[in-house]
Amino acid sequence: MDRAPLSEDEVQALLASLPGWRREGATVVRELRFDDFAAAFAFMRLVALDAEELDHHPDWSNSWNRVAIALTTHGARCLTRLDAELARRIERRALEAGARADP
């Protein structure tokens, strides 16, 4: 997968295509809420498979039914196409799992 940096226009287009994601410097973040711990953990397990396939891993945390996710390409010190692909996959998994935005 391509680790080329995203241009500012590409970052803005990515954020526009993924509601609920926001930028924090060289990172994009998303907080999700699930029905319970089991649903949150099942979501994380599926995302872990995607992350392994891409060889790109999120910084994330879980507290009961909540999952907080942060993506950046640490080696590049910026957002890359790899972050964009993983964010898209995470969003698909979240929709499939019935996640809601965490207020």
Q: What is the pLDDT of residue 1?
A: 60
Instruction: Give buried/exposed letters for 19-45 (b at 16+ CB in 10 A, else e).
Output: eebeeeebbbbbbbbbeeeebbeebbe
pTM of the model: 0.94
pLDDT digit string, tens, across residues 5-32: 999 999 999 999 998 999 999 999 999 9
Name all domains of the chain by residue range, CATH numbers in brackets. Answer: 8-101 (3.30.1360.20)
pLDDT < 70: residue spans in the chain: 1, 103
Phi/psi region, residue 98 (left: phi>0; alpha: psi -120 to 50; beta: rest), is left
Predicted local distance difference test score (pLDDT) of residue 46: 98
Please report the pLDDT score of residue 67 as a whole number.
Answer: 98
Q: What is the pLDDT of the chain when averaged over all its residues?
A: 95
